[in-house]
Chains A and B, each alone.
Chain A
Amino acid sequence: MFADYSLAELGSIFVMQGFAGLILFSVFVLMALGLAIIFGQMGVINMAHGEFMILGAYVTYFTSQFFLNYLPGLFGAYFFLAMILAFFAAGALGMAVEWLMIRRLYKRPLDTLLATWGLSLILQQLYRSVFGPREVGVELPSWMMGSISVTDTIEVQINGLFVMGLTIVITVAVALLMYKSAWGKQVRAVVQNRVMAGAVGIDTEKVDRYTFGLGCGIAGVAGSAFTMIGSTGPTSGQLYIVDTFLVVVFGGAQSLLGTIASAFTISQAQSTMEFFLSGSMAKVLTLLGVVIILMLRPQGLFVIKVRR
């Protein structure tokens, strides 16, 4: 299959596809980060994660509309406000859901799966009724449009670069929060031994609620970033949920590093294959590869050893 292309062309193809893969990677990482916190740290299957992401995307859309209509002068900066709003909107919804539903189900992970699926159906229909069934896209500020030519054949889009930069910032922030802050220490303590954590005075219920909220909030930010590269509809979230779960499981559920590594592997494999095969076959092969590897190595790529 490579015979039709010259060497230089092949190089460009790999770089361009690699770049497309990096954008996919950023979306995966942003979505998977929230999921890794919720699933990996709390053991809760949140099937509505995609809908939290879409909530963030809608918040971003409405913020951009607001700026467009009332503050056109500041339009270039709307995204930063939108991101913060998206974080708090999705996080608040997440905390409400945890309080109403999830906390009754911690001992029944399969049932959380069903309940959150129900939640995702309700949210989808809610978005459809409130925001309409059509997909909406935000208008990018002018500084985010266009692309940079690296060589004659290689171009990179600025919005893609921006999303990648954002991903790095958020990943670092989450890592710092989980591994360097007092709160992160509490979360990890609760994960490793809930009873003991409670015994030393950690309010485990509160930690649970904020952890779930944080995971959903990050999903909201992911949705915000998602608007930079794609349009948003009521069911967009569902398209990514299976991939994201595979990313998290493939990486080893409790390891943030594993999540990033697996997101990288999956997205690069998919986007490189997409060029040579049809999109659907690339996806089938990627997912199938992941499933087969998971069958051979169920614990995922990276494992944290915890004495139970």
Chain B
Amino acid sequence: MTDEPLLRVSALSKFYGSRIGCENVSFDLWPGEVLAVVGESGSGKTTLLNCLSTRLLPSSGTASYRMRDGQFRELYRMSEAERRFLMRTDWGFVHQNPADGLRMTVSAGANVGERLMAVGDRHYGKIRATAVDWLSRVEIDEDRIDDEPRAFSGGMRQRLQIARNLVTGPRLVFMDEPTGGLDVSVQARLLDLLRGLVTDLGLAAIVVTHDLAVARLLSQRMMVMKDGRVVESGLTDRVLDDPRAPYTQLLVSSILQV
């Protein structure tokens, strides 16, 4: 276990004109940690995720990331090319809608292989073998490797998107409602898969979700957001079992019991 965080976020704010996207968000994320960001739609959680993954630039605040050489780099001072390289190699981004993260008109194998080529792999046989391996890790049969994701079910597409993101061995993965829009049984399978992969690979992840059960299953730590601000944060089970902020109490008390 290292003593330094992977990501340090300090006083991050994003305004859309006079409207608050997210305001004054600070936290550290360590390797192997999964942080859930929860809140209702409009709470600013997706804005925060997009700022952290540099898909959006914040209005103020800083975020520094510990590169593989151990040096911290200020994310918003990197060049566009450097950020893109980080995104392709050391980071992953799992979108709620797989169509946003996949190329729907190339084969499943190519979707996975493309990320490998982006980091410099050129040997076709090796790329294909790695793709097959990753498809099996996300429980997609080898004989589907040449099919386009258009022909896949929603759950399969999501698993393919995860394989595409993890094949380069990223250290940090952003996930935006990774189980949103899936049937409950498909969700359970995906959650179990994600949980296993995160543990086995020692990934750090930031997961945005409105589903507290998903947060409980995947994350160790949690931030609750409302109107762009973090209203409560702490250990996931502490926040859910002993919610302190009025808004968190409302969220927790609104969970339907099965």
A binds B: no
Interface residues of A (CB under 8 A from B): none
Interface residues of B (CB under 8 A from A): none
